[in-house]
Structure 1
Amino acid sequence: MLLRNLFINSGDVVGDSSPTQLRRVLRVRDGLAVTVGIVIGAGILGTPGLIAGYLRDPFVILGMWFFGGVMAGLSTLMLAEMAAALPEAGGKYVYARHAWGDTMGFVAGWSEIFVTRGFSGASKAVLISGYLFMLVHGTTEVPATVFFVLEGPSWLGDIELSWVGVVALAVVLAYFVLHTRGLKASTTFQNVTTAIKVVIVLAIAAVGIVGGTASAGADSTPLISGEASAGLLGYALAYQSISFAYYGWEDAAKMSEEVVDP
């Protein structure tokens, strides 16, 4: 209830609202920024090398990326219909609750928070920390040196802190503080950072198209080796990584109660 009231009381009122409904302050551009900003995240930065190690062949790699994009696009269209029909905050939690009752809605919602979101947020924070280390020290190797060990309970084990872990924790706290500033502040930040990421991705693609040659795929040996070659297991592992890279396509549905015209 505290978090709900926090969002209800932030931002300007657009359209009708009630004390039990979130204010509709988001536009289509905000939903696009959230979706694109989340998709262009840790996955696209951290998985291409692994996928290259799994599949080896550049044309197979491109085909798998295309297939993953089609699957994500079809899933997005399906979820868009549900979000328009049930414009409530919560996304998959709402759909599970309407379909199977409050118990399954509860399970779906808390599973999303503890499993999916916890893993996703932690992986992004660690990736940001690793890239910052490489940028500052001018190296491609990120050491996992432990400089502090906190003794934990037997069921958890000792808690080890490294440079990457501390910076990752700082990143998570920074995002937490930003989002507690209100919906407007977090939306503006999302829009700006998404625009920057889109420009960078388009620039990289343009350089590859303009500067690439027909012989670019002659040497298909990846610099980063995966755990399997292009067998059935390799395709499965590659698609798993690609699915993680595209993950985020469903997040705009969670904000449908805050969108002016969902």
Structure 2
Amino acid sequence: MSTESNTYLRRLGTWDAAMIVIGGVIGAGIFSTPSTLAQRTSSGWELLALWVVGGLLTLTGVLSYAELGARRPQAGGSYIYLREAFGQLPAFLFGWTMALINYPGSVAAVATIFAQYFCAALGLSLLYIKPVAAGAIAFIVGVNLFGIRAGAWMQNIFTLLKLAAIVLLVVAGVVLADGHLGVSLAVDPGRDVPPGALFGALLPVLFTYGGFHYLNDLAGEVRNPQRTLPLALGLGMAGVM
């Protein structure tokens, strides 16, 4: 097959693609959702079960995106799928909604949360939150201007740092439990949580698991997409769970 001159360079391998999946899923939600789940459950086992159930439900979406990405390995992700299935108008509206509302709002929210933690860690005034958030966005844009490899390296490093932070939290929790881990997993008789509350608690879990679809937006830059996309989506989601 001849290579068109207007296509993207396919430079992302399986490792890079899996890091994009993990980095897309692990965001600010994982650091705030557990407290909400603890309010809606009566034991640690129920809380852990929610993460497993939510992960399995999300896996169905991951498998669907793996198939879509293998069939249409082009940059654009959901835009491409909507255009092929429903026509130009729904895809156009979706694309502009993502470009003008969804993605800018998501980036601004994540940058603001980062700035809040950053200023709190350094003891800076709240007046610095907006400048720090804007500076973080400008930094990421600047790195990506150097090409897909520079962006991939930054993504990989930041994803490993996020994984290290979560591992540190888990280890600290186990150490602080100091032999009382079974108590936190046992049912609390003082908490009367109705069974239906567990279904409502699945919503923040599914929200936290969202973000795996970002890889399909970059399908046009993935090497051997028919093999790499399904493998990276599966490995990335399994790693997150």
TM normalised by structure 2 equals 0.79
1:115 has 2:101 as partner: yes
Query: Are 2:157 and 1:185 equivalent residues in the alignment?
Result: no
- Which residue identity is paired with 2:69? A
Deviation (angstroms), 1:202: 3.1
Q: Determine if contact 1:51/1:61 at 8 Å carries over to the other structure.
A: yes
Query: What is the CA distance between 1:184 and its match in structure 2?
Result: 1.2
Distance (whole Å) between structure 1 residues aligned to residue 89 and residue 53 of structure 2:
35
Pair 1:254-2:217 in alignment: yes
Look up the match of 1:63.
Answer: 49
Q: Tell me the equivalent position of 1:242.
A: 205
- State how far apart, in whole Å, the 2-side matches of 1:107 and 1:235 are: 35
> In percent, how many aligned pairs have the same letter?
25
CA distance in 1, matches of 2:202, 2:154: 31
Q: How many Å apart are 1:251 and its aligned residue?
A: 1.1
Which stretch of structure 1 is more off in the superposition, 57-66 or 128-137? Answer: 57-66
Distance, in Å, in 2 between the alignment partners of 1:233 and 1:113 is 37
Equivalent position of 1:215 in the other structure: 183
Equivalent residues in 2 for 1:165-180 (5 A)? 165-180=130-145
In 1: Cα distance, 2:128 partner to 2:42 partner? 33
Cα distance change on mapping 1:235 and 1:125 into 2, 3 Å: farther
How many Å apart are 1:20 and its aligned residue?
Answer: 2.0
Which of the pair has the greater relative contact order for Cα pairs under 8 Å at 6+ separation?
Answer: 2
> 2:160 aligned with 1:195, yes or no?
yes
Cα distance, 1:241 vs structure 2: 2.2
CA RMSD of aligned residues (A): 2.9
> Which structure 2 residue ranges, 5 or more long, are not aligned?
226-241
Listed as ranges, the gaps of 5+ residues in structure 1 are 1-14, 146-161, 221-228
Distance 2:113 2:58 in 1: 23
Pair 1:48 & 2:24 matched:
no
Q: How many equivalent pairs are there?
A: 220
- Give the whole-Å Cα distance in 2 for the aligned partners of 1:115 and 1:233: 33
Q: Which amino acid aligns with 1:72?
A: T
Is 1:22 the counterpart of 2:12? The answer is no
Q: Structure 2: how far apart are the matches of 1:181 and 1:25?
A: 14
Q: CA deviation at 1:216?
A: 2.8
How far does residue 83 in structure 1 lie from its aligned partner after superposition?
0.4
- In structure 1, distance between residues paired with 2:193 and 2:123: 35
